[in-house]
Structure formats: C-alpha cells, structure tokens
A and B are shown apart, each in its own frame.
Chain A
C-alpha cells in the first residue's frame, strides 16, 4: 500500500520537466511575406492553464533559487 505519494509525485514532475526540456526545440523564424507569423510551438498558452504545468513552473523557480543559493555558498 502506498502510504506517502510525495516521492512518486515529485519524481513524476521531475521527469515531466526533463521531457519538456528535451522536447522544446529552438524555433526558427521563416522569412517571406506568406510565412506564418507565429509558429505552432509558441501557441502553448493553453498548456499554462493546466495546474500541473503551473506547478512545474513554480518548481523551476524554487529550484533556481536553491541552485543560486548553492552557487553562492560554494563560491
């Protein structure tokens, strides 16, 4: 029986963050008058509406702070 789901949830979120980093490719702008103004990759505003994605963003922000703290401590 799973008593504490926290490690599993945390690990899943970390995996999702890694997958997201791997899947995001740099967007190359296409020239020309008939080229699309915005690529489909930038149209992910609906993704931020998902609570799990927002949680991911919060986690990234806190992790960045922790990393900053570690870097300051080491130097």
Chain B
C-alpha cells in the first residue's frame, strides 16, 4: 500500500479497506494452481499461437505501429499469468524466448521494428523537456530578481571610500 507523503494527505490510489474481502480467495484465475508449470509446457502453449496466421498478422500490425517487442512480449506473458496459464516465475523465464520468437517472426516478414532493448539516449521524453523548461523559467525568474537584491545589499555593506589608501576608515 502506498504511504502518503503527508500524514493527513488523502490516499486516492490505494485499495479501500476490505477490498481484499470482496472476492473469495482462490476465485481468481491467478490464485489457482497454474496450468503450465514448466518452461517447456509454457513454450508449447505460446509458440503455436505465435505461428498461427491470425496472431502473426496482429503481431506484425502492432510492431509496425511502433510498439516495442519487449512490451508485446511482456503483455503476452502478463495476460497468461492473469488467466492462470502459468506462474509469474515461468513468465519471467519465458520472456526472453518470446522476445526472440517475436523478432524472428518480424525478421521473416521483413518489417522494421523497435526492440525496446537498446537505450536510445538521443530520444528525450516530452515530460523531461517540459520539466527542464519549467526549471529554466523559474531559474530565469530568480536571476532577474537576484541582481536587484544584491545591488541593494552591496550598497548597504560598502561605505563610500574617501581619501587616499592610508586614510582612516570611519
């Protein structure tokens, strides 16, 4: 459960009290024993599905739209976990094979796709740009105000120097 940053802040995204009792334990598919317990069984489930014409067409459409391979693979395994096909552990183990398999299908079809593996540092997220702009604007605002304050402070501190270097200070 998320802990609110302030003691009295309302918790808006957390479950309501008693929500865990709204469904009986074991009534959800992911709470039941998984259908496939080994990596091989899970792959026997996935690979024929991936190779079917219907799924292949949909998969290629999604990849052509620019959805990364890793996202597609993770969505597939997560959906199967929710359906109670296999456990989360088996899902994690199956993921790299699914990624390779999807890339093989895409290569066979000859389409360009995004793997989602390499960190492209040239691309910058829009949210980061807006955050940087806001920060820059706030800094600009502070810089405009600061010199005036500094000038006033200097005038207060530095007394007018009269006379030569050896003259007495007031």
Contacts and interface: CB of A to CB of B under 8 A. Distances in A.
A65 B104 contact: yes
Contact of A6 (B38, B39, B71, B107): B71
A14 to B, nearest CB: 8
Given A51-B39, A70-B107, A7 B116 contact: yes
A73 B95 CA distance: 27
Contacts of A54: 39-40
Q: By DSSP majority rule, is chain A's interface helix, strand, loop, or mixed? A: helix
Interface in A1-43: 4-7, 9-11, 13
A66 B101 CA distance: 9
B92 A5 contact: yes
A47 interface: no
Interface string A35-68: 0000000000000000110110011001101100
A6 B92 CA distance: 8
Contacts, number: 60
A26 B103 CA distance: 32
B73 interface: yes
B97 A6 contact: no
Contacts of A51: 38-39, 93
B27 interface: no
> Which 9 pairs of residues, A with B, have the shortest CB-CB distance?
A6-B70, A62-B100, A6-B74, A13-B96, A10-B96, A58-B97, A4-B74, A51-B39, A7-B70
